[in-house]
Amino acid sequence: MHTIERTQRIPISLDEAWSFFQNPENLSKITPNEMGFHILSEVPNKMYPGLFINYEVSPLFGIKMNWSTEITHVDAPNYFVDEQRAGPYAIWHHEHHFQKIDGGVEMLDRVNYQVPLGILGKLAHPLIVKPKLEEIFDYRIKKVEEIFGKWEK
Structure letter (DSSP) for residue 18: H
pLDDT on residue 58:
86
Q: What is the pLDDT of residues 80-112, one digit of tens each?
A: 999 999 999 999 999 999 999 999 999 999 999
Q: What is the pLDDT of residues 112-126, one digit of tens each?
A: 999 998 898 899 899
Is the CB of residue 66 less than 8 Å from the CB of residue 40? yes
pLDDT on residue 62:
77
pLDDT on residue 152:
83
Q: What is the pLDDT of residues 42-66, one digit of tens each?
A: 999 889 999 999 999 987 777 889 9
Is the CB of residue 94 less than 8 Å from the CB of residue 74? no
5 forms bridges with which residues in the sheet?
Answer: 110
Domain 2-148 fold is Alpha-D-Glucose-1,6-Bisphosphate; Chain A, domain 4 (3.30.530)
- Torsion on CA atoms 106, 151, 143, 15, rounded to nearest 10: 50
Q: What is the pLDDT of residues 11-38, one digit of tens each?
A: 999 999 999 999 999 999 999 998 889 9
